[in-house]
Amino acid sequence: MPDLRIILVGFGVVARSFAEIVESDGESLARRYGLKPKIVGIADSRGAAIAQTGIDLKKALGSKKDNGDLSGLDGIYHEGMTGAQVIKEADCDVVVESTPTEITAAEPGLTHLKTAMMKGRHVVCTNKGPLALAMPALIELAHHNEVVLKFSGTVGGGTPVLDFAKKCLEGSEVRSIKGILNGTCNYILTRMANESATMKDALADAQRLGYAEADPTYDVEGLDTACKLVITSNHVLGTGLSIKDIDIRGITDISVEDVKEALSQGETIKLIGGVAGGKAKVSPERVKLTHPLNVSGTFNAICFDTFPSGEVTLVGKGAGGPETATSVIRDLLEIRRAYAR
Ligand code: HSE
């Protein structure tokens, strides 16, 4: 099996975790799946490195740790080079886009995705912004350019929410979807319930542990949940939603007292994203302690109401670098299968 040449656009928690897996577990990926990722380009917000023979990932990770950028990659580093430039200049099979989510214009992610697909590159995207804003158009662009656009990591981290719903629920009609889609909020609400932690302290810990978004207001104000709801609803129910269609309320006005009061009645408070009858909303809701959606910490849980099978709930870790990096590997395997036919 030939190498799969990859450009990493964005070198944050997810891309670095992916690079660590390739670096430490490359032989196992080749043995188990015949997958041989070769990283030929990496871009972060300060510059980029290109090497068609493959970038030394140990060096790249070391440079990022020591210098905060890729400048330690002597001879192949270009200060100020953008992700879009690398996509245009380097030869590759797949672009992995993992720059931070931004939902006003979804940039620079949207430009990266368009540039890659118009150049005939397959794309793995873990950035929710472009899909939350322009999913139908991006899917159309992928079809038009005959490339594969995969985005498993945008919902559920490493938990295969989208593929599960699309493939494993085939044969049942999914009528509505309801779930806990943000690990950071669930971590905060769990700490508030179990330890009476303040929202500020719990959020600071979530940031330190790498769960929160680059801009954590996306988590606590419900925007991240809304992005994931759009992507899930469009993918599973075929709705053509954009984030502008969602009614959004986050957890910023929830107090420890609110959580304790719910607990005294056998309930807990969770940030729920739900879609039913074409209407989608994000808001804190009370959930019975015995309900399958009552998961703790960074766990996500998503409940599909199906006909005739009833409710099917999937639970798994919804945030974290190594977890989300496994979704990138899953998507790469699917791309490899699709074009190896
Ligand atoms: N900030 C997100 C979360 C990361 O906490 O769920 C995963 O999308």
Number of alpha carbons in the 13 Å side-chain half-sphere of residue 173: 4
- Any idea what DSSP says for residue 244? G
Sign of CA dihedral 170, 171, 175, 177: negative
Span 105-130, pLDDT tens digits: 999 999 999 999 999 999 999 999 99
The set of residues, in sequence order, having a beta carbon less than 8 Å from that of 285 and lying 6+ positions away, is 269, 270, 271, 272
Q: What is the pLDDT of residues 317-329, one digit of tens each?
A: 988 899 999 999 9
- DSSP-based three-state secondary structure for 209: coil
For ligand 1, atom 8: residue with the closest CA: 319
Q: What is the DSSP letter of 93?
A: S
Question: What per-residue confidence (pLDDT) applies to 341?
Answer: 45
How far apart are alpha carbons 260 and 250 in whole angstroms? 18
Task: Verify whether ligand 1 is closer than 6 Å to residue 157 (CB atom).
Answer: yes
pLDDT at 210: 87
Alpha carbon distance 101, 243 (integer Å): 13
* Single pTM value for the model: 0.95
Q: Whose CA is nearest to atom 7 of ligand 1?
A: 319
Ligand 1 atom closest to Cα of residue 319: 7
Which numbered atom of ligand 1 lies nearest the CA of 213?
1
pLDDT digits (tens, 9 = 90+) for 180-233: 999 999 999 999 999 999 999 999 999 999 899 999 999 999 999 999 999 999
Q: Looking at the annotation, which residues are catalytic?
A: 228
CA angle at 235 for the pair 234 and 238, rounded to the nearest 5° = 55
CA of 270 to the centre of ligand 1 (A): 15
213 lines ligand 1 (CB under 6 A): yes
- The domains of the chain, with CATH numbers, are 4-158+321-340 (3.40.50.720), 161-317 (3.30.360.10)
For residue 340, name the pLDDT band (cuts at 50, 70, 90).
low
Helices 109-118 and 128-144: crossing angle in degrees, nearest 10, is: 10
Integer Cα distance of 158 and 43 in angstroms: 23
Q: Per residue in 69-107, pLDDT tens? A: 999 999 999 999 999 999 999 999 999 999 999 999 999
- What's the half-sphere exposure (Cβ side, CA atoms, 13 Å) at 34? 7
Cβ–ligand 1 contact at 221 (below 6 Å): no
